[in-house]
Amino acid sequence: AHSSSDPKGCGFGSACKTCIVQQTIFESHHLGSVFHKQGATIRVDTVDGQQLRHLLVSTSPFSLPDLRTLVSLEDVTDYVDSQLAKQESEARFRTVADQAGDAMVLFDLNGTILDVNQQACRGFGYERAELLGQSVRRFLGSERQLDFSAVRGSQSYERELLAKSGQVFEAE
């Protein structure tokens, strides 16, 4: 941890009064509270300049002759950054899928619908949330015996499908 505004280091700068790390340690020490993996984002000084780091702060007060607090700081910046990149990637995929002209239904080997695009929602007459988690067999009409274990990768099928209205329609 750091303080860029005071040569004494962490705990002495003007920003330290609002620092979640300092507040967590203070509460743990003075109130006897245990904190486990409290999230904190702090700015640290590095040789390359300042960086934001994401930390998990855990504290546990204990007694020796006087009260002490054990503090653990875990740097989870790489994990947080990878989760943000994953969310951005998923958002880009969602945008592309929803702008596609064809209906897309992603399901697992058991036939459980994992994802659908907007065209599929329109075709079936359901909201996305209503379709997710459903068995694709529910929408197969008279061909409910599709062998999902034989389906690998991206494949195209011509099938009778059932819309929410009960109407049967042909789809590829």
Main-chain phi, psi angles of 162, to 5 degrees: -105, 125
Main-chain phi, psi angles of 150, to 5 degrees: -85, -10
Structure tokens at 158: 């011509």
Which has the closest alpha carbon to 55: 7, 23, 93? Answer: 23
The stretch 150-170 carries a mean pLDDT of 72
Q: Provide the whole-model pTM.
A: 0.58
**What does the longest C-alpha to C-alpha distance in the chain come to?**
79
Which has the closest alpha carbon to 111: 75, 157, 53, 69? Answer: 157
Instruction: Answer whether 107's CB lies under 8 Å from 114's CB.
Output: yes
Give the CA angle between residues 163, 168, 169 to the nearest 5°.
Answer: 90
Is 163's pLDDT higher than 70? Answer: yes
Is 78's pLDDT higher than 90? Answer: yes
Provide the terminal-to-terminal Cα distance of the chain, rounded to the nearest Å. 58
% of the chain at pLDDT higher than 90: 19
The stretch 64-85 carries a mean pLDDT of 88
